[in-house]
Amino acid sequence: MTRVYVALGANLNEPLARIRAAQQALSSLADASSLRHSRLYCSKPMGPADQPDFINGVSVFDTSLSPHDLLDALQAIEQREGRVRKDERWGPRALDLDILLYGEQQINDQRLTVPHYGMKQREFVLYPLADLAPELTLPCGTTLSSLLQQCPLNGMTPLSEQ
């Protein structure tokens, strides 16, 4: 079993419902007792500003899936929840699931980069991650607490409906 952290984000088609469905679907990939979810947050879009705010969170669980099998399973969940892949970077989406960490592994190939390439700068990843693992140290040796000190909330707020 490997401990994995997965970021969840959505801003289209009832985003809270998409996130809740994804959280439930993750249970099929996880060791039964290991699945936990951060609080959910409302955050400003990282890309074009003319789109709705996002709902974001992070889930952690232990899995026996390989990194690429996990990626395939997450993409299948995205597709079931209405994700349409477009060329627009950081555009609106029904559901986005990203592998943040896969144990202590560092992976960089054509399909997958782990740790996730942007996680060190994104408040909508770091703060939910801290809900689950405040003492976390990344495979590169950087502590989550040091990243949080350098990352403002940028208007992100916890969702009142949990």
pLDDT band per the 50, 70, 90 thresholds, residue 88: low
**CB 154, CB 147: distance < 8 Å:** no
What pLDDT is stored for residue 161 in this prediction?
58
Residue 82 has what pLDDT?
78
pLDDT interval class at 89 (50, 70, 90): low
- Beta strands at 54-63 and 41-43: parallel, antiparallel or unpaired: antiparallel
Region 42-57: mean pLDDT is 87
Task: Please tell me the total count of domains within the chain.
Answer: 1
- Residue percentage of the chain with pLDDT more than 70: 93
Residue 130: pLDDT over 90: yes
- Whole domain around residue 145: which residue ranges? 2-158
Cβ-contact 90, 43 below 8 angstroms: no
pLDDT recorded at residue 14: 93
CA-nearest of 33, 7, 13 to 124 is 7
- What average pLDDT does the structure give for the chain? 91
pLDDT at position 66 is 97
Task: Name, in order, each residue with C-beta under 8 angstroms of 128's C-beta and a sequence gap of 6 or more.
Answer: 7, 38, 39, 40, 41, 56, 57, 58
Q: What is the CATH number of the domain that holds 130?
A: 3.30.70.560
Residue 86 above 90 pLDDT?
no
> What are the counts of helices (DSSP H) followed by strands (DSSP E) for the chain?
4, 8
pLDDT of 87 higher than 60: no
pLDDT band at 32 (very low <50, low <70, confident <90, very high): confident
Q: pLDDT grade, residue 137 (50/70/90)?
A: very high
Q: What percent of the chain has pLDDT over 90?
A: 78
Query: Which of the residues are catalytic?
Result: 83, 93, 96, 98
